[in-house]
Every structure is written in structure tokens, then in C-alpha cells.
Amino acid sequence: MYVKLKKKYGQNFLIDENIANKIVDLINFKKLKILEIGPGDGRLTDKIISKNPKKLELIEIDKDLTKILKEKFKNNKLINVINKNILKHEINDNYDLVISNLPYNISSQVLVKLSIMDNAPNEMILMFQKEFAAKLLENRLNSINSIVKCFFKIQLKFHVSKNCYRPIPKIDSSVLKFEKLNKCLLKKNEIDNFIKFKRYLFSYKRKSLKNLLKKYEINSNINLDIRAESLELKMLIKIFKEINF
């Protein structure tokens, strides 16, 4: 590794070339506008270039790594390196694909940001801690998958051993692919209130909908004795719209 790793950024770098190849093999098309988040020293970036992107933007929070990336790719006019915190960076461009081995400590925040933004990408190839990935893939609703699934279809592609990283994390990872739905399940002006609504429901997971929503008049013909996690997503959204939370 070229620079000293910084714990505050949750840095765990993928060193297994075979896994890097498997990740990039999930990119089905060439000439895409691609955003890579947290490229580190550019090992995965090297593989992405083989897919002949139309444009490749790299967002890296670490100033030392940013310098390395700018020097490494200085002769490639298609690559733009930005030294920013992705959570504070305003994404104005329209990307076909976002790809990232996301830092574990900000995975959920980055995922929600990417999912709900106006110019959300058509696809995302993202790697998460295995336990977090499992929450996204659950059939039962939870606080995180109930918002992401309003905008994307989620597929598990493969798992990655913790031994493929340096430093070695405590848990294995999973690579997921996200495909944008043809029609989002929420309108733009509903997103903020839906996030508050689902956060309220899943903060009291053991309580029934009847107890949580007793101050609202609900006409939908559903069983309110169940918990929020037992609902189908479309029914959860229907209730949300009906009570105008």
C-alpha cells in the first residue's frame, strides 16, 4: 500500500485481483458514464478502464490517495479525480453506473443518498459487509430495504472473503447489483415524509400497526394487528399515502 491507512475513513482495500475482475465483469456495457466512490489507490479503477467507459469520475476523501490517483491517471483524459466526502458532495452529473467498495462506516448513508437523488444511476455495483447486505436482501421489510426497494431491484452477485482485504476486516463482504425500477414507487415530494414514516414504524418493531397508527384513520382493508415488517412494500406505501404522514 502506498500510504498509511486512516482508521477515520474506515479504509479496507481490496487486494484480490480475481475478485476485482469478478466485480468489473458485472459491467455489461461499454461507453458508460461511471462514478467510482472511494477508489483508494486505483486497483479496481484499473479494471474499470478495461470496459472503455465514456467518462470515469473518482471521488476519494483521502487527500494523500487523491494525489496518488491524479498522478497515476494524469494521462487519461476520461478520468476526473475529485477530493471530496461523498456524503457532502453534490452529485449533479447523470451516471449510467455507480461502483464502489463502500467504506463500512457510511454504507447506509451513501446508499440512501444514491437511491433517492433525482439523477439516480441506472445501475449500481456495490460491496457491503455481509450482514448489511443480508438486511437489504431480506424479504421482510426493515428500515433500510424499505426505502431502497422503492427505487431499485437488488440482486446478490457473490460473497467476498474478509481475507481479500487489507487490513483484514472482522466480517466477510457481499457484492450486490442494483437496477433502477422502470417506475419509482415514490414521488419526489413524498420521499422525505416516507423516510420519517418508515423510521417511525421500524423504531418500534415489536408494536403492531394498530398501536403505532391509532391516531390515524385508515380505510384500507388490511390487518392492523401485524407489524410493519410483515407488510408488502406496496401496501406500506399505500398506508403511508392514505394517512398523509
CB distance 59 to 37 below 8 Å: yes
**How many CA atoms, within 13 angstroms, populate the side-chain half-sphere of residue 186?**
29
Choice between 179 and 6, residue whose per-residue pLDDT is larger: 179
Mean pLDDT of all residues in 23-37: 97
Measure the CA–CA gap between 35 and 43, rounded to whole angstroms: 15
Provide the pLDDT confidence category of residue 5 given band limits of 50, 70 and 90: low
**Torsion from C-alpha of 166, 170, 172, 173, nearest 10 degrees:** -70
Q: How confident is the model over 112-168, as pLDDT tens digits? A: 999 999 999 999 999 999 999 999 999 999 999 999 999 999 999 999 999 999 888
Do 83 and 145 share a domain, yes or no? yes
Do 123 and 207 share a domain, yes or no? no
Q: Which percentage of the chain shows pLDDT scores above 90?
A: 82
Do 53 and 155 share a domain, yes or no? yes
CATH of the domain at 114: 3.40.50.150
Do 101 and 165 share a domain, yes or no? yes
CATH of the domain at 217: 1.10.8
Per the structure, the complete domain to which residue 176 belongs is given by 7-180
pLDDT at site 102: 86
Do 144 and 220 share a domain, yes or no? no
Do 142 and 234 share a domain, yes or no? no
Do 97 and 217 share a domain, yes or no? no
pLDDT at site 2: 44
Measure the CA–CA gap between 172 and 161, rounded to whole angstroms: 5
pLDDT at site 44: 95
Measure the CA–CA gap between 34 and 235, rounded to whole angstroms: 34
1 pLDDT more than 50? no
Q: How many domains does the chain have?
A: 2
Q: How confident is the model over 77-104, as pLDDT tens digits? A: 999 999 999 999 999 999 999 999 888 8
Residue 100 cell numbers, joined: 464502489
Does residue 175 sit within a domain? yes
Question: 6 vs 62, 71, 81, 116, 123, CA distance in Å?
Answer: 8, 20, 19, 29, 29
Residues in CB range of 163: below 8 A, 6 or more apart = none
Do 173 and 226 share a domain, yes or no? no
Closest to 28 in 3D by CA, of 99, 103, 109: 99
> What is the pTM for the complete model shown?
0.93
Does residue 55 sit within a domain? yes
Mean pLDDT of all residues in 209-235: 88
Do 140 and 227 share a domain, yes or no? no
Does residue 2 sit within a domain? no
